[in-house]
Amino acid sequence: MRAFPLTVTALAAVLVLTACDNGGGDKNKGKDNNACADGGVSVQIGAASLAPAAGDTGEVPVSITNQSTPCTLEGFPRVDLAAGSASATVSAQQGAKAQKLKLAKGDSASFTISYVRGKAGDKASLEAKTVKITLPGAKEAQTFPWSYGPVAGKGSADKPNATVSTFQQVGD
């Protein structure tokens, strides 16, 4: 009867290993689940390089400062431009690769919203009044006024001619 304890041990090991697999692998494996989000960080929009006329490009810097325990920024921020009931999501810069930044308390990072100014009153321009920024892992968006003029659309106002850069470490 030596086969019975060995079979039970092997079966138990298979069950334990199977219980660890959710069928598609663990999506959080290797990720730091302490995202820089919701109350632990401050987000501020800095002085912009304005696009003075339709067709010109402007840049709006956004800084994030960790106010709490060490956290991680991974991926891209979600940026939505809104004009009344109309809104549009800004895409990531073409070719930009997201990096993982760890921020200790007091550390800062930044990203840039680049946009092409649209013509006021043009159907293909979004007359943005606010910008909503959601950091990766955050449940809440932070809303700021958009005072940089209309944003040109790529054929229509719901596809803004704007991009978001990757996070960059500020300082050392």
pLDDT tens for 139-160 read 999 999 999 999 999 999 999 9
What pTM did the predictor assign?
0.79
pLDDT, one tens digit per residue, over 34-43 is 889 878 899 9
Question: Does residue 17 sit within a domain?
Answer: no
Q: Can you name the residues that pair with 72 across neighbouring β-strands?
A: 35, 102
Per-residue pLDDT at 118 exceeds 70: yes
Number of domains in the chain: 1
Q: Is 5 a domain residue?
A: no
Q: Which two tokens stand for residue 5?
A: 């304890």
* Tokens of residue 14, six digits: 């298979």
81 within some domain: yes
- Give the model confidence (pLDDT) of 18-70 as tens digits: 333 333 333 333 444 688 987 889 999 989 999 999 999 999 999 999 999 99
Note whether residue 47 is domain-resident: yes
CATH (domain of 128): 2.60.40
Handedness of CA 128, 46, 60, 76 (dihedral sign): negative
CA–CA separation, 104 vs 67, rounded Å?
9
Question: What range defines the domain where residue 52 resides?
Answer: 34-170
Q: Residue 32 and residue 70: Cα distance in Å, rounded? A: 10
Predicted pLDDT at 37: 83
